[in-house]
Amino acid sequence: MQYSLKWEQRQRLTLLEATVFWSGGVSTNALTDNFGISRVQASKDLTLYQALCPGNLRYDKYLKRYVIEEAFKPAFMEGTAKEFLQVLKAQRDGVGGAIVTLVNNLPVVELVESAVRQINRAVLRTVNQAIIAGREVRVVYQSMSRAEPVELWLSPHALVFDGLRWHTRAFSRTHGEFRDFVVARVLSAELIGLTDIDAADDVDWQLFVTVKIGPHPGLSESQKAIVEFDYAMRDGILECQVRAALVFYFLKAMRIGPDDLMREAFVQQIILLNRAELKDYLF
């Protein structure tokens, strides 16, 4: 669907639509805070969006915000998990709006990426909405340790993308503890009541630990030097602050496993230096 809009208008309407789609609603403050515009301009954008996309959102007087309608159809976005990830990355890195690069004579660049992992966007949306609204979700979950799916009651408080898959960090009433759940293994998710779980009680999530990485001891001095340069190590060590709950995923992304010292040096190249200190977070 094409509209004759100024670039700035399209950016604001895209953000508005993305916010409504993924979180279930949007307030005027979301536009004023993200684009530095007045409340009058934000109201104009909301009115314009409703005119262009009738039936997508309505104003809820009780919540004092615009909420998504059942018949919602994206007009400025696709609503994919990949798109959602790009928004989250931009938010994390403090990137405002789109960055347009106009450069001639660019070199040929081929990006090697892993196969796209499919995810049910309805499930991802529901989990994200539960996090925002502080609600519980009832899910049907297919774990790899059980032959059949089971019903779980979860209180999610964060989403994690490990480079390959989406996870949610949640308190499971079924298990009585905070755990990680692969979103793609959630067959269905339903929002239920407000949760009484406080994310501050998730000790492993709140705790940051230092992960120390160094070159494989089997490398030559020259090889070690180039690996240290490659990873910007200082005195042969790269120190990374990682949430204790995410140490396993971080090491997996760095391709460091429990057999790092046993693998051929030229293949492994880097190893975990403080494994004993982190043993409680490696599973």
Domain boundaries, the chain: 7-77, 121-201, 207-281
What integer best gives the mean pLDDT of the chain? Answer: 87
Q: Which contacts (CB < 8 Å, 24+ apart) does range 27-35 have? A: 27/64, 27/65, 27/66, 34/96, 35/8, 35/11, 35/97
pLDDT for position 65: 87
DSSP conformation letters of 236-266: TBEEEEEEGGGHHHHHHHTT--TTTTTS-HH
pLDDT given for residue 272 in this prediction: 97
What mean pLDDT do residues 242-261 have?
94
Percent of the chain whose predicted confidence (pLDDT) is above 70 = 89
For 260-279, the pLDDT digits (tens) are: 999 999 999 999 999 999 99
- Residues 161-187 have a mean pLDDT of 93
- Residue 282's pLDDT is what? 87
Q: Please state which CATH class domain 7-77 belongs to.
A: mainly alpha
- What mean pLDDT is predicted for residues 208-220? 97
pLDDT tens readout for residues 7-63: 888 888 888 888 888 888 888 887 788 778 888 988 998 999 999 999 999 999 888
Place of tokens 């755990």: 179
What pLDDT score does 96 carry? 47
Q: Tell me what pLDDT residue 64 has.
A: 85
Assigned CATH for 121-201: 2.30.30.520
Q: What is the pLDDT of residues 84-129, one digit of tens each?
A: 877 676 666 654 443 333 344 445 656 576 776 788 989 999 999 9
CB 168 within 8 A of CB 208: no
Residue 70: the pLDDT is 87
Predicted confidence (pLDDT) per residue in 151-168, tens digit? 999 999 999 988 888 999
Query: What separation in angstroms does the CA of 29 have from each of 80, 127, 151?
Result: 25, 23, 37
The pLDDT, as a whole number, for residue 110 is 64
Give the residue, 237 or 41, on which the prediction is more confident.
237
Give alpha helix (H) positions in the chain.
7-23, 28-35, 39-52, 81-93, 121-133, 203-206, 221-230, 247-253, 265-268
Other CB atoms within a 10 A radius of the CB of residue 191 amount to 14
- Percent of the chain scoring above 90 in pLDDT: 59
pLDDT for residue 246:
95
- Which pLDDT does position 266 carry in this prediction? 94
pLDDT beyond 80 at 185: yes
